[in-house]
Homo-oligomer: A and B are copies of this chain.
């Protein structure tokens, strides 16, 4: 196997110059490259949003799913063929708004996928409405007087929904982000990675500077990500604006826990029933 970094290139990105999403794409390409995962074994499932276009710009297999529907599609792919590396990727609106339920349930199931949320605190592709992670008071096209809602805390939800890997990165720190994405992919189980990925066109509040001024990096701290409650305390203390690997544990994987054969992917199981198998099944109906 002789992969080059360029093998992970898809279409030419159309994001605005300076968009945080470039870094996420680059780090994902780096991470999969460094891990030596051939692109044909990587499937990116993306939502709808500027963020979701990452699937078009990454070079592997992919599904550009519906708005908010990355996780169930990714889950279906992962269960069907656990030999693939499945990455779900989308925006904060996509994942924490319309798609939140799928995300929460996938975490407690511990589906073996990596979820990258490119969190710019705004709906960008639809040209600027507040999102679930926008702070209260955020002024946007649909909140001309400021949003009326307290923002959602993705890391806290991920922790209490029992994600087995929870991390946060920042498009302004690609070294750390690459490291995090690598660790997330390597982690067996649901890896939740929230990424502060500024929208330079519509979000004038949560800019690179805004994040830089506030972010506390766990890398610089003496922190061990093995206690869920402590992780929660840490996240609350930092008001959610911290980066690094926040929590990690080993837990049985959903596709292994589901009854059924484990030694080969679903996609490889023979489709035809042998005559005796058929007759045995039919015989169950004989009263």
Contacts and interface: CB of A to CB of B under 8 A. Distances in A.
A38 to B, nearest CB: 30
A287 B99 CA distance: 41
Main DSSP-derived SS at the A contact region: helix
Contact of A148 (B104, B144, B157, B254): B254
Contact of A157 (B110, B149, B151, B161): B161
Given A100-B101, A108-B149, 15 more contacts: A98-B101, A100-B104, A109-B149, A136-B257, A145-B259, A148-B254, A148-B257, A148-B259, A149-B257, A150-B162, A152-B161, A153-B161, A157-B157, A157-B161, A229-B236
A266 to B, nearest CB: 15
A104 B152 contact: yes
Interface size band for A: 35 or more
Contacts of A97: 105
Contacts of A257: 136, 148-149
Interface of A: 97-98, 100-101, 104-105, 108-110, 132, 136, 144-145, 148-153, 156-157, 159-162, 228-229, 232-233, 236, 251, 254, 257-259
B150 A258 contact: no
A267 B29 CA distance: 54
Which of the listed residues A100, A150, A153, A254 has the most CB atoms from chain B within 10 Å of its own CB? A150
B232 A150 contact: no
A132 B150 CA distance: 26
Nearest to A157: B160
A233 B229 CA distance: 7
